[in-house]
Amino acid sequence: MSHSRAAEDEVDRLIAAWQQERPDLDVTPLEVLSRVSRLSRHLDRARRAAFAEHDLESWEFDVLTALRRAGRPYELSPGALLRATLVTSGTMTNRIDRMVASGLVTRHPDPEDRRGVLVRLTAQGVERVDAAFAGLLRRERELLAGLGEREQRALAALLHTLLVPFDASDGGSH
């Protein structure tokens, strides 16, 4: 194996088993991609825990952050929210309804389109998403604590290189 860590991880054991069972195959891609996959699961758990601290579900965080990133007055059309969160229109309608009921967003007529509506963050929504985002960043810094600043930048650059072709092939919608 190409890394020189003293501690073994689950991927090391997986690679060793495949090398034993299938020495004819080059399992090198597993060293990177299996670790990325496992890390993704750990990150997903950490994110859900960060959101739960602020009584939010992952999908609520996605909608709230899309609105927050839009800038004042923190509003978007349901169509823009669909594109930002990659869900169906029925799912988005249901999500908006639930968030209106919980006081996180409101619906307003779109002054540019008499048939359209805009979804806007409430003061409570801004407060919750800002707190949840700060909590998420704190947890993500903890996850990256084993890497120095230079290593984090290098890893980010390498992951960027891997991700760009995927985003380009699906229109950059992720």
Tell me the three-class secondary structure of 78-97, residue by residue.
HHHHHHHHCCCHHHHHHHHH
Judge if 113 and 69 occupy the same domain: yes
Q: How far apart are CA 25 and CA 125, in angstroms?
A: 52
Judge if 116 and 80 occupy the same domain: yes
- Give, as one character, the DSSP assignment of residue 6: S
Tokens encoding 133: 């985002």
Q: Which domain range does residue 34 map to?
A: 10-52
How many structural domains does the chain have?
Answer: 3
Question: Does 36 reside within a domain?
Answer: yes
Question: Does 65 reside within a domain?
Answer: yes
Question: Does 141 reside within a domain?
Answer: no
Tokens encoding 9: 């991880």
Judge if 78 and 22 occupy the same domain: no
Q: How far apart are CA 85 and CA 119, in angstroms?
A: 14
**pLDDT value of residue 168:** 82
φ/ψ (deg, to 5) at 67: -65, -45
Q: How far apart are CA 119 and CA 64, in angstroms?
A: 10
Judge if 78 and 92 occupy the same domain: yes
Q: Is the separation of the CB atoms in 77 and 66 below 8 Å?
A: no
**pLDDT value of residue 161:** 95
Judge if 94 and 123 occupy the same domain: yes
Judge if 106 and 63 occupy the same domain: yes
Question: Does 115 reside within a domain?
Answer: yes
Q: How far apart are CA 37 and CA 54, in angstroms?
A: 26
Tokens encoding 5: 């860590």
Tokens encoding 127: 């407060």
Specify the CATH number for the domain of residue 64.
Answer: 1.10.10.10
Question: Residues in the chain with pLDDT < 70?
Answer: 1-6, 170-174
Sign of CA dihedral 41, 5, 156, 70: positive
- Give, as one character, the DSSP assignment of residue 9: -
Judge if 156 and 120 occupy the same domain: no
Judge if 154 and 118 occupy the same domain: no
Question: Does 43 reside within a domain?
Answer: yes
Question: Does 135 reside within a domain?
Answer: no
Q: How many CB atoms lie within 10 A of CB 113?
A: 10
Q: How far apart are CA 98 and CA 64, in angstroms?
A: 12
Judge if 75 and 108 occupy the same domain: yes
